[in-house]
Chain A
Amino acid sequence: MKYLTLFILSMILWLMLTFEFTAANLIAGAVASLICSLFFGRLFVSNVGKLLQPRRYYWFVIYLFVFLWECIKANVDVAYRVLHPAMPIRPGIVKVRTSLKSDMAKMLLANSITMTPGTISVDIIDDCLYIHWIYVRSEDPAVYTAMITGAFEKYIKKIIE
């Protein structure tokens, strides 16, 4: 099942790269996708049934807009801190507990946090994220958890879990 999904996905990628529908190109794409799925099939994500549920794509599009808005806000904040003559930064590493279960969801959350300016996710151990923050606003775990992951977590739960 994993192998078949990877085969179809790589075939779609091949057609998007070449964009011609002659017989030779299709055969070459099929052979390439076959080699690719033989090499990397055992590593691919296991529960591929979720790729076929359209509800998840709907939430993914909404998530993109939410992420964009958070990104703009964080950009303005970091630009203010850099341009301010006194440089009001207070860096530190905080430990955030997340309620997400699957590994893929944790990966998406960590990458979203890294891509918003000002925060970088350093590591994941079990269900705790270690995050480097440019200005540690609060030292209470409940408050900073809501500040960092609150906007993303409920959408990611709907997309992946």
Chain B
Amino acid sequence: MKGMSIIVKKTAQLISGMIFIYGIYVIVHGHLTPGGGFAGGVILAGSLILVTLAYGEEFFKLVREEMGTTIVESLATISVILIAVGGFLFGSKIFFNNFLPRGTVGELVSAGVLPLYNIFVGTEVASSIFIIFLSLIIFKEESPK
């Protein structure tokens, strides 16, 4: 896959890091401000897609990246289910039990396990959308015209 022109490349160089940090901000503060795992995950995927579109990678590098992203996605999904099962082990016998202390409303470390769910769901959404994009690119690369 070819990259784009120099204007897009240089702008992506400066902007992509900022988009990524904004996505992490939306995920981590999901229980205080608008946003959360779903919104932030899509923003993270957007920054990765921007870099891939602007620079264009070698074919084998793309395949390697796809394998890594697949593993990340599966791990994130397993983590969500493990936290849900954690309700059985700590406290009462309820699936999806909020077993950590809740803290006071409005602080960063509060709301028990909700920030953890946010982080893992964000990772999962980001990696799954990025996988979809990568597999479309790889399909175009490897199939004959």
Contacts and interface: CB of A to CB of B under 8 A. Distances in A.
B18 interface: yes
A10 interface: yes
Interface of A: 6, 9-10, 13-14, 17-18, 20, 22, 24-25, 28, 32-33, 35-37, 39-40, 43-45, 103-104, 106-107, 110-111, 121, 123-124
Nearest to B13: A43
Nearest to B8: A107
B2 to A, nearest CB: 14
Contacts of A44: 13, 17
A32 B21 contact: yes
Given A24-B109, A43-B13, A10 B21 contact: yes
A111 B11 CA distance: 9
Interface in B1-31: 5-7, 9-14, 16-18, 20-22, 24-25, 28-29
Nearest to B48: A39
A33 B21 CA distance: 7
A45 B13 contact: yes
Given A25-B108, A103-B9, A107-B6, 17 more contacts: A6-B17, A9-B17, A13-B18, A24-B108, A24-B109, A28-B108, A32-B21, A35-B20, A36-B17, A43-B55, A44-B13, A44-B17, A103-B6, A107-B7, A107-B11, A110-B7, A124-B5
A7 B109 CA distance: 23
A83 to B, nearest CB: 31
B114 interface: no
Contacts, number: 69
A-B pairs with lowest CB-CB distance, top 10: A107-B10, A32-B24, A40-B17, A10-B21, A24-B108, A24-B109, A36-B20, A124-B6, A110-B7, A17-B25
A107 B22 CA distance: 24
B7 A10 contact: no
A6 B9 CA distance: 17
Contacts of A121: 7
A106 B5 CA distance: 12
B126 to A, nearest CB: 11
29 contacts: A6-B17, A9-B17, A13-B18, A14-B25, A17-B21, A22-B107, A22-B108, A28-B108, A32-B21, A32-B24, A32-B28, A33-B21, A36-B17, A37-B17, A39-B20, A40-B16, A40-B17, A43-B12, A43-B16, A43-B55, A44-B13, A45-B13, A103-B6, A103-B9, A104-B10, A107-B6, A107-B7, A123-B5, A124-B7
